[in-house]
């Protein structure tokens, strides 16, 4: 039987979709549908006026074919103007906004529907468009330029998902004038970022969103109407050791998710682990950590099925305020974690709204949905699981489709490079792309602390990538960015610690120590690497007594077992030698060798986090001194 020929033609495709439709439906389904029908009537009337043919619709989305590109553009402009007028007059209870994309190209006609790349590009243009805006392809622009009075804004080559195209905005009012560049490609990654990412991962979970001066915990709670929440480590009750990671990951992501909310203070995961090991009672927790609520949970795994049971306790009133269980499969874990976080906020009578300020970060987001995506992406990629990193990548890509120059996202996206490498999605290398991302973050967010500290660090550690500066100019510029990072946001925990590292790297040691001390006033039980960095800074400044006390706590407390413990032992051995306690130093060195018989200074310096020290003379002294204690160079 002969194959039926494919029916192809060139057509002008008009694609439109409602902005935040699902959100409107969740708030008021009935009124949202009524409003949609009202706007749909307007749209269909305009299709008839401009000779457009509606060939597909999917609830809140509409696809139409036009013979004339000029007619399609005029139809789109009139529709957006009518929508704006209607919304201003409040003729409907729920006001909706639309995005529109227009393309002309080859399409396939099949059973009354149109398919193919011509339609796909129109849909991608619609996704690229601003809320209440219109984006068109270059082919449409070429047809209509000079034939309409509208102003066009050239966006250049854009890539949305798998489609790449040259796009233009129709500027309906000055507020729609924007500058988009092609999505930043991810290139080579610096090994330095690995060390700093460890800091970011550890710090993120104890980010207390306080806008006042750094004070002790009691003062912060007393002056705040925000409750302090402690999320205890979720228990694995499956009897299978391999399921421990699931429980640990859920704990960390829920902590990060709650900590992202500006109406909460959330204790760090390291604090909850510390409390668990000490076996503290609820009243002891309340009295020592000023906690109002404790969230506990445990998981049971059977094959692909998971049951999570959670319990929220009000430790001030000494009663359980909420308990629930969730049955799900592993693929649904992110949704369940979101649900648990939302339920906690609901029980604490905290509304999930973006109307409140979240430090200064939210001001950089044009689309509230992108803000929500950003909050969700951070704990996902900081979980360092393959699934979490992949899911975070999708969220970052969606944000960059409409906000490619958002400095908050760019700054965090640099850390995301290292997360991808950590889970095997890309190679570890260093290159210009990461540095260019940091430059863009500072360019579009000059008052963003994290962006400044990131660029300062990269400049100090990779001078060859900045040939436009002389050696003296590079040091001076890096120091300027490091100082900015400290001055711009002196109360945000992540910013304080990022600033501390960058200040140390550029040689501003006293200021770095000040930042470490500020952070520890808010979070007395941070991840081990934070105290280790602080101890190293004190060691460099020859404040040996304070440094030795910190290093001893790290090396003797099993809470910090691992890399931080090894690094702390190295600091102890060095200080013992400096203070003339050679016998003690040799005993510490012997302990280091018991932990790792193959250790040498090259390996030990990684555990000691010496990547933040640029002073070669100090590094030589450190190597020689530890060699005398018994550590091979």
593-614 pLDDT per residue, tens: 888 788 888 888 878 878 778 7
Give the CA distances from residue 248 to residues 69, 232, 561, in Å, rounded to whole numbers and listed in that order. 56, 10, 17
pLDDT tens, residue by residue, 538-562: 999 999 999 999 999 888 764 444 4
Task: Identify the pLDDT of residue 311.
Answer: 93
Distance between CA atoms of residues 432 and 459, nearest Å = 11
Count CB-CB contacts under 10 A for residue 181. Answer: 12
Task: Identify the pLDDT of residue 453.
Answer: 87
Distance between CA atoms of residues 612 and 632, nearest Å = 22
Count CA within 13 A, CB hemisphere, residue 365.
22
**Which SS3 state, helix, strand or coil, does residue 21 take?**
helix
Task: Identify the pLDDT of residue 266.
Answer: 79
**Residue ranges of E strands in 237-342:** 265-266, 293-302, 305-314, 319-329
Residues 6 or more apart in contact with residue 162 via CB below 8 angstroms? none
pTM across the whole model: 0.48
Q: 444 and 203 in contact (C-beta within 8 Å)?
A: no
Which contacts qualify for 420-426: CB closer than 8 Å, 24 or more apart? 420/186, 420/389, 420/393, 421/189, 421/194, 422/194, 422/197, 422/384, 422/389, 423/384, 423/385, 423/386, 423/389, 424/386, 425/386, 425/389, 425/390, 426/186, 426/189
Q: 497 and 530 in contact (C-beta within 8 Å)?
A: yes
Nearest of 542, 471, 475, 509 to residue 612 by alpha carbon: 509
Distance between CA atoms of residues 251 and 525, nearest Å = 17
Nearest of 297, 300, 295, 296 to residue 243 by alpha carbon: 300
Count CA within 13 A, CB hemisphere, residue 572.
24
Q: 307-345: string of b/e by CB count within 10 Å (b at 16+)?
A: ebbbbbbbbeeeeeebeeebeeeeeebbebbebbbebbb
Nearest of 180, 193, 90, 185 to residue 135 by alpha carbon: 180
Task: Identify the pLDDT of residue 494.
Answer: 64
Locus of tokens 């950003």? 374
Q: 209 and 267 in contact (C-beta within 8 Å)?
A: no
Token pair listed for 106: 């080859």
Biggest CA–CA distance in the chain, Å, is 95
**Which SS3 state, helix, strand or coil, does residue 283 take?**
helix
Task: Identify the pLDDT of residue 201.
Answer: 43
The stretches in the chain having pLDDT less than 50 are 1-3, 182-225, 351-359, 430, 558-562
Helices (H), 403-527: 407-422, 432-444, 449-461, 471-488, 493-505, 509-522
Q: What angle is formed at CA 445 by the lines to CA 443 and CA 447, rounded to 5 degrees?
A: 120
Count CB-CB contacts under 10 A for residue 359. Answer: 18
**Which SS3 state, helix, strand or coil, does residue 229 take?**
strand
Residues 6 or more apart in contact with residue 295 via CB below 8 angstroms? 229, 230, 231, 232, 254, 310, 311, 312, 313, 344
Q: 131 and 99 in contact (C-beta within 8 Å)?
A: yes
Task: Identify the pLDDT of residue 183.
Answer: 43
């Amino acid at each position: 039987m002969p194959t039926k020929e494919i029916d192809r033609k060139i057509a002008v495709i008009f694609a439109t979709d409602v902005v935040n439709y699902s959100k409107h439906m969740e708030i008021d389904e009935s009124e949202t549908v009524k409003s949609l029908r009202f706007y749909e009537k307007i749209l269909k009337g305009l299709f008839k006026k401009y000779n457009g043919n509606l060939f597909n619709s999917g609830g809140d989305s509409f696809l139409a074919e036009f013979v004339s590109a000029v007619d399609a553009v005029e139809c789109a402009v009139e529709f957006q103007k009518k929508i704006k007028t209607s919304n201003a007059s409040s003729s409907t209870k729920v006001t909706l906004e639309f995005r529109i994309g227009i393309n002309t190209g080859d399409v396939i006609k099949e059973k009354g529907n149109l398919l193919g790349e011509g339609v796909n590009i129109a849909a991608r243009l619609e996704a690229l468009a601003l809320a209440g805006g219109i984006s068109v392809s270059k082919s449409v622009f070429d047809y209509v330029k000079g034939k309409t009075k509208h102003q066009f804004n050239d966006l250049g080559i854009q890539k949305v998902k798998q489609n790449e195209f040259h796009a233009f905005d129709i500027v309906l009012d000055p507020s729609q004038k924007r500058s988009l560049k092609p999505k930043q490609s991810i290139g080579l990654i610096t090994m330095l970022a690995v060390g700093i990412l460890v800091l970011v991962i550890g710090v993120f979970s104890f980010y207390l969103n306080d806008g006042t001066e750094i004070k002790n915990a009691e003062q912060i709670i007393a002056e705040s109407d925000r409750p302090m929440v402690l999320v205890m480590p979720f228990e694995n009750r499956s009897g299978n050791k391999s399921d421990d990671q699931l429980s640990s990951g859920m704990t960390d992501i829920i902590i990060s998710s709650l900590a992202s909310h500006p109406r909460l203070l959330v204790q760090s995961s390291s604090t909850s682990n510390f409390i668990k090991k000490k076996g503290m009672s609820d009243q002891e927790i309340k009295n020592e950590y000023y906690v109002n609520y404790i969230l506990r949970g445990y998981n049971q795994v059977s094959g692909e099925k998971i049951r999570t049971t959670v319990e929220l306790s009000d430790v001030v009133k000494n009663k359980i305020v909420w308990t629930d269980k969730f049955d799900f499969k592993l693929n649904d874990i992110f949704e369940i974690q979101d649900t648990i976080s939302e339920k906690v906020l609901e029980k604490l009578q905290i509304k999930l709204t973006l109307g409140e300020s979240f430090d200064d970060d939210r001001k950089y987001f044009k689309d509230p949905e992108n803000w929500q995506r950003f909050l969700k992406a951070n704990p996902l990629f900081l979980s360092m699981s393959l699934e979490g990193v992949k899911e975070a990548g999708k969220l970052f890509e969606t944000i960059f489709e409409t906000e490619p120059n958002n400095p908050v996202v760019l700054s965090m996206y640099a850390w995301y490079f290292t997360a991808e490498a950590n889970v095997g999605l890309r190679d570890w290398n260093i290159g210009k792309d990461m540095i260019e991302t940091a430059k863009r973050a500072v360019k579009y967010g000059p008052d963003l602390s994290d962006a400044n500290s990131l660029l300062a660090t990269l400049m100090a550690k990779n001078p060859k990538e900045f040939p436009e500066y002389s050696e003296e100019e590079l040091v001076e510029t890096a120091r300027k960015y490091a100082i900015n990072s400290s001055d711009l946001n002196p109360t945000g925990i992540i910013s304080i610690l990022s600033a501390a590292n960058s200040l140390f790297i550029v040689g501003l040691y006293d200021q770095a120590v000040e930042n470490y001390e500020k952070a520890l006033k808010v979070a007395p039980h941070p991840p081990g690497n934070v105290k280790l960095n602080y101890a190293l800074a004190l060691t460099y400044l020859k404040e040996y007594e304070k440094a030795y006390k910190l290093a001893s706590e790290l090396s003797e407390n099993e809470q910090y077992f691992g890399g931080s413990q090894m690094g702390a032992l190295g600091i102890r051995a060095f200080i013992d030698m400096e203070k003339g306690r050679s016998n003690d130093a040799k005993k510490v060195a012997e302990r280091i060798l018991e932990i790792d018989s193959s250790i040498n200074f090259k390996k030990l310096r990684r555990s000691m986090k010496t990547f933040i020290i640029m002073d070669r003379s100090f590094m030589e002294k450190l190597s020689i001194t530890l060699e005398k204690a018994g550590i091979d160079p």
